Amino acid sequence: MPAIMEQPISGPLAGLMVLEIGHYVAAPFCTRLLADLGAEVTKIEPLSGDPVRKWGEQFEGESLWWSTHGRNKKSVAINLRARGAADLLLALVKRHDVVVENFRPGHLAALGLSDDAMRAANPGLIISHISGYGQDGPYRDRPAFGVIGEAIGGLRYLTNHPPGSYDLPPVRVGVSIGDSLAGLYAAFGIVAALWERDGKGIYAGRTVDVALSEAVLSMMEGMLTDYGKLGKIRQPSGSRIPTAAPSSAYLSADGKWILIAANSDPLFERLARLMGVPDLPQDPRFADNRSRLDNVDALDTIIGKWTRTLSAGELLEQLEAAEIPSTRAYTAADCAADPQFLHRRMVQKVNDPLLGDVLHVGVVPRIPENPGAIRWTGPSVGQHTEEVLTSSGISRDQIDCFRAKGIISC
């Protein structure tokens, strides 16, 4: 297998220069999306490395998550608190189109890297700030992680079974969804700002201000509208969809959860025939979507009784033949073996110099005419420091001086 690093740069963002001054999840996720589509991303991390390098499963002392989290990026290790570090960063800012950061508001300014200072070095710079609550407002200075954004944005309240069904706390989605949503919005905002700057010929710097809390809130469908007009507070609904039925997870005879979404009248009629109760749609309790929602407990009892008579394989074979949207709840192993994911290269085996062969998720979005690629996996700390500084016009003597002062490692 050829080394990932040997692959040429491709993708619609090839030529875009992005400087990441981020840590943990949100900003690095944003820049990974840009890098996957061809952007040249330089990640600034402390001399000890991004803390995410110590998160999750480890293999021979190396983070498995980092292989994906840091892919397609160049690592430059800089002690941002050291005297002279700000000047070094500003030298890098001059040759970049975009800076992405996710420290608490004011942190970079305190290090000599305010927006004004960076735009003095590069007037057309796009600066994307990702923070818990945004760059202004009464909560501006509060600390926050993705989990806090999920809670204050309304998501954590809804990730639960219906009230009164049990007394455990609301569950986490299972991944850092709040951080990832903020990273997605930041990437979208960056591309929008670049379109205004370059596509419209308005060569001026732009600021993209993304709050974790707002990224989550913006995904909450009609939650605010329902409350504002009706005073109705949307409640947790477990595995069901509160606006359509039937749509839930049902247990098979062999103990597997099968998702069935027969939440339109034609689909429900096909499901009823499949279950051997073709007259069920004529029952007034289930005659239309509103009726089915009002009587969803009774409906799910009927469906669940049927699903428990068949194995997961038998259920899915019959449901697929009837063209009813369905699947089992996938594990990582299921995703890795799925023929659709494999056909579209959404599961790829790549060679990581630190780990050997590993599985990576493919590039999203897919742009067939000019696709992005996994060019290399997450680098070691400071792997590209000397390369990036040299290409930014910093002399060998200066690099040696920075190293001697403990500002960089390479």
Q: For the segment 4-52, what is each residue's pLDDT rounded down to a tens digit?
A: 444 668 899 999 999 999 999 999 999 999 999 999 999 999 999 999 9
Q: What is the pLDDT of residue 168?
A: 85
* Residue 347 and residue 374 in one domain: yes
Among the candidates 328, 362, 382, a domain finishes at 328
Decide: 5 and 376 in contact? Cβ < 8 Å: yes
Inter-residue contact 21 to 356 (CB < 8 Å): no
Please state the domain count of the chain: 2
Answer yes or no: is pLDDT of 3 > 50. Answer: no
Closest by CA position to 180, among listed 30, 360, 346 = 30
**179 annotated active-site:** yes
- DSSP secondary structure letter of residue 53: G
CATH of the domain at 265: 3.30.1540.10
| 30 in a structural domain | yes
User: For 82-86, what is the mean pLDDT?
Assistant: 96
Average pLDDT over the chain, rounded to an integer? 95
Tokens read off for 289: 């979507």
Note whether 74 and 203 are same-domain residues. Answer: yes
Evaluate if residue 185 carries a pLDDT over 70: yes
Determine, yes or no, domain membership for 381.
yes
| 355 in the same domain as 315 | no
From 328, 346, 368, the end of a domain falls on: 328
- b/e per residue, 14-41, with b = 16+ CB within 10 A? eebebbbbbbbbbbbbbbbbbbbbbbbb
Domain final residue, candidates 328, 359, 377: 328
Say whether 42 sits in a helix, a strand or coil: strand
Mean of pLDDT values over 170-183: 94
* Domain annotation covers residue 230: no
Asked if residue 231 belongs to a domain, the reply is: no
Q: Tell me the per-residue pLDDT of 265-279, one tens digit each, with 9 for 90 and over.
A: 999 999 999 999 999
So what's the pLDDT on residue 4?
Answer: 46
Catalytic member of 36, 97, 179, 352: 179
Does pLDDT of 2 surpass 80? no
How would you label 75-113 residue by residue, b for 16+ Cβ within 10 Å and e otherwise? bbbbbbebeebbebbbebbeebbbbbbbbebeebeebbb
Burial of residue 44 (CB within 10 Å: 0-12, 13-18, 19+) is buried
State whether 22 and 82 are in the same domain.
yes
Predicted local confidence at residue 176, as pLDDT: 94
**pLDDT number for residue 164:** 85
Percentage of residues in the chain having pLDDT higher than 90: 93
241 in any annotated domain: no
Q: Write down the pTM of the prediction.
A: 0.94
Same domain, yes or no, for 125 and 164? yes
Domain that holds residue 277: 247-251+257-328
Mark whether 50 and 140 lie in a shared domain: yes
User: Is residue 165 over pLDDT 90?
Assistant: no
32 and 137 in a single domain? The answer is yes
User: What does the block give as tokens for 3?
Assistant: 């080394």
| Residue 180: CATH number of its domain | 3.40.50.10540
List the strands of the sheet with 247-251, edge to edge: 247-251, 257-261, 326-328
Residue at 240 is within a domain: no
Per-residue model confidence (pLDDT) at position 7: 63
Tell me the pLDDT tens digit for each residue of 120-154: 999 999 999 999 999 999 999 999 999 999 999 99
